[in-house]
Amino acid sequence: MSEVNSVEKMELKVKDIIQKYGSDRGFVVPILQDVQKEFNYLPKEALNAVSSHLDVAISRIFEVATFYKAFSLTPRGRHQLSLCVGTACYVRGAPLIESNIERVLDLRPGKTSPDLEFSFDTVNCLGSCALGPILVVDGEYQGQMTVSKTNKVLKKLGKKVKTDEN
Ligand code: FES
């Protein structure tokens, strides 16, 4: 697919999303949420399309897109892992899980794999301390994580995991 075609397709998709909200500029945040859901991040071209279809200055759209931590202006992986490193999760073993994920995915927190399969982040307390350590896998909270449970999750997501048990 040529780049022009893919930009056109992106603009059409954005237009569809905006129409779903009646082209109401009061819905910038949910519109951006839907755009991110569609593309896994907020591509510059999509933000331009939101700006022109809603007739809102691009600077304002960027302001919103950078204000909320949930939005990403850089490509994100198909699978997103967020490990809680708040105090309760930390003392229950989050650092071990973190270094294992780093090793298996060869990814530092805050990074996305070059094949865009995985993004990995660490986050602060998610409010479910009793279930810690918590790993959020594609939006789903998984509690009482251990290194071996994490490896099972990664295998399920298609990652080859080398462990001492292999
Ligand atoms: S510290 Fe992890 S959920 Fe609270």
With a cut of 70, say whether residue 1 has pLDDT above it. no
- pLDDT > 70: percent of the chain: 95
Do 87 and 133 have their domain in common? yes
Q: Among residues 67, 98, 123, which one ends one of the domains?
A: 67
Strands (E), 68-117: 79-84, 111-112
Domain extent for 137:
79-156
Q: Give residue 30 CA to ligand 1 midpoint distance, Å.
A: 27
**Cross-strand pairs, 122:** 83
Give residues with Cβ within 8 angstroms of 165, minimum separation 6. none
Over its C-alpha atoms, the chain yields an Rg (Å, rounded) of: 19
Report the number of distinct structural domains present in the chain.
2
Q: Give residue 117 CA to ligand 1 midpoint distance, Å.
A: 26
With a cut of 90, say whether residue 63 has pLDDT above it. yes
Give backbone dihedrals phi and psi of 3, rounded to 5 degrees, phi first: -65, -35
Q: Is the pTM of this model over 0.85?
A: no
What kind and span of H or E run contains 122? strand 118-123
- 94-105 and 147-156 helices cross at what angle (nearest 10)? 30
Q: Give residue 163's pLDDT.
A: 66
Do 83 and 141 have their domain in common? yes
Ligand 1 site residues, Cβ closer than 6 angstroms: 84, 86-89, 125-129, 132, 134
Q: Give residue 142 CA to ligand 1 midpoint distance, Å.
A: 12
- pLDDT > 90: percent of the chain: 83
Do 83 and 61 have their domain in common? no
Mean of the per-residue pLDDT values of the chain: 92
CATH code, domain carrying 147: 3.40.30.10
